[in-house]
Amino acid sequence: MAQIRTVPSDQLIAYLLASQPPEHEELCKLRSLTQGLPRSIMQIAPEQGHFLAFLIKLIDARRVLELGTFTGYSAMAMALALPDDGRLITCDVNDETVSIGAAFWQRAGIAHKIKVRMGPALATLDRLEREDTPSFDLVFIDADKPAYDSYYEAALRLVRRGGMIVLDNMFQRGEVSDPCQSDARTEVVRALNRKIAGDERVDRVMLPVADGMTLARRRT
């Protein structure tokens, strides 16, 4: 049987989004606002927001850690999926962009679920490891790529057994598969892809969603 691979055109992506559950009104507004900002490419795609929300409900997550907030779209998508007593810690270094999402979180009624930790993510992760904090059900990594391997290792220490680690941008716009591409970001992600593929500490799968998403489930 022939393998069928469909390259998503703009028309197909529009169809995909129209076939998803409705996007929360405030989430849609935040996404639209962010699209007009510099570095708007850092925002996840709406289908990724749906996917993360589905994962949270699938594993009945109540404690979520996010590395890389930007304007807070992904944090909001996940917090909306959490139960009312669920909590999400999101980490970033730019309080100007993070503050953009605060009003949207408030109007959506989920601000009480989100705690922002400002500062370098590795320092925040180190503090979380030293705190008497219950382990996380899901960790979403979407931050600076040079530290991705360190983020992955810290996430493995912080996520519970059976919990999920999700890494974004694992395709690097397709450059990981191009042997002519040897810039630092691509090399780091390429090496991490190889590492996770052989990592027996986790069950893992790489999915062609947006710029590539890897799911790693910490084995029990």
In CATH, what class is 46-218? alpha beta
- Confidence band, pLDDT 50/70/90 cuts, at residue 8: confident
Nearest Cα neighbor of 168 from 57, 71, 69, 95 is 69
Contact 99/106 with Cβ under 8 angstroms? no
- The reported pLDDT for the residue numbered 167 is 98
pLDDT (tens digit, 9 = 90+) per residue, 45-55? 999 999 999 99
Structure confidence at residue 2 (pLDDT): 55
Instruction: Write down the mean pLDDT value for the chain.
Output: 94
Q: Give how far Cα 213 sits from Cα of 86, 170, 216, Å.
A: 24, 6, 10
The neighbour count for residue 134, using CB atoms within 10 Å, is 11
Instruction: Say if residues 98 and 26 touch (Cβ distance below 8 Å).
Output: no
Confidence of residue 10 (pLDDT cuts 50, 70, 90): confident
Which residues on adjacent β-strands are paired with residue 167?
A: 141, 214
Higher pLDDT, 41 or 162: 162
pLDDT in tens, 113-164: 999 999 999 999 999 999 877 799 999 999 999 999 999 999 999 999 999 9
Quote the pTM value.
0.94
- pLDDT above 90 covers a percentage of the chain that reads 84
Going by pLDDT thresholds of 50, 70 and 90, the confidence category of residue 7 is: confident
The 10s digit of each residue's pLDDT in 177-213 is 998 888 998 999 999 999 999 999 999 999 999 999 9
Q: What percent of the chain has pLDDT over 70?
A: 98
List the structure tokens of 30: 């935040």
